Amino acid sequence: MGFSLGTAITYCTVLIVFASTGHVAGCYKAIVSFGDSVTDTGNLIHNSKLLSNGFVKSSVPPYGETFFRYPTGRYSDGRLIIDFIAQSMGLPFVQPYFGGGSNGDRSFVEGVNFAVAGATAMDISFFMERGIINSATNVSLGNELDWFKQMLSSFCQTPSRCKEYLQSSVVLMGEIGGNDYNYAFLQGHPKEEVLSFVPKVITVIASTINELIKYGVQTLIVPGNLPIGCSASYLSYFMTSNASEYDPRTGCINWLNDFAENHNELLQEELDRLRELHPHATIIYADYYNAAMRLYRSPSNYGFNNTLEACCGGGGPYNSNAHVYCGSQLSTVCDSPSSYINWDGSHLTEAAYRWIADGLLKGPFTSPQINGACILSRPKPKILDS
């Protein structure tokens, strides 16, 4: 596909960091993304072949109402973490691999998103063998990696151009892996069984990172799992009268958050190993868990007055009902999504995603810092006279 190589990979001549906004201009030239519904900007809604049941919940209002004013396939009322990261880097919203840009333009010079809502890290066969159903899609991280390779073969034209393009891009690795646990937990599989999935999920993520670095990727942001014990869907499913199972400060379920932290600890250990194997690469851990937990612990500091109840849902103590999805005739939606952390039971509001992205871009919820890594991974800027 024709494009200006100079436009795609010319290194920055001036690097500007606006500390007050977290905006970085002239650094990375593109964002390449993988993941699930936390990151999907429209793949599931644009390709019916990815669907398990022929219907995308995020294809109907009130999804997208806050920012886009119409459903875009994003599982929120507005922008996602990836959208705020793109804006902070002076890049356009990352277009989905399926559906392309305006007028079907599939030129991915400034980024491409392979994330699919409902996707898992493990292959679909892993879950089928265990009687676990993915009602959203049969897409796994392996499928997304295959699309990435296919895209490069038609987009870059030569290996050297691919490598240069990837060296000037930042790869966002998810979040991925959360659905591997969600489907099992919410279909009644015991904690001990689901806990055995964690090392396998981490291995798949690590293997994918290795592949991407082999192709020439130099900078990756690898998110951890969110605090699932604060999710309205989990709170509804595992509701109990046993007060000891809840964090008295937040109302979140302790053992589920412990599970998420276990995943995150093992992931960070694996990232340390990968950094030793690939000292030339910058591998950034994005601490989604603690960036989100501060919202639950001190909601008023961030403008929230409802932490656990879903803004859009089907009733019950947490306004989350597995049989009444957000946007259906029986669902209700709150008047002020920006005062809620939870959007639809499983996903967060734009306001929450904004604060999580802010914590990643400005600190302290990445290791190493995104902006610092950006500066260090680029050639020393040449400052031109104005």
| Catalytic residue annotation | 37, 344, 347
Question: What is the SS3 string spanning the chain?
Answer: CCCCHHHHHCCCCCCEEECCCCEEECCCCEEEEECCCCCCCCHHHHCHHHECCCCCHHHCCCCCCCCCCCCCCCCCCCCCHHHHHHHHCCCCCCCECCCCCHHHCCCCCCEEECCCCCCECCCHHHHHCCCCCCCCECCEHHHHHHHHHHHHHHHCCCHHHHHHHHHCEEEEECCCCHHHHHHHHCCCCCHHHHHCCHHHHHHHHHHHHHHHHHHCCCEEEEECCCCHHHCHHHHHHCCCCCHHHECCCCCCEHHHHHHHHHHHHHHHHHHHHHHHHCCCCEEEEECHHHHHHHHHHCHHHHCCCECCCCCEECCCCCCCECCECCCCCCCEECCCHHHECECCCCCECHHHHHHHHHHHHHCCCEECCHHHHHHHCCCCCCCCCC
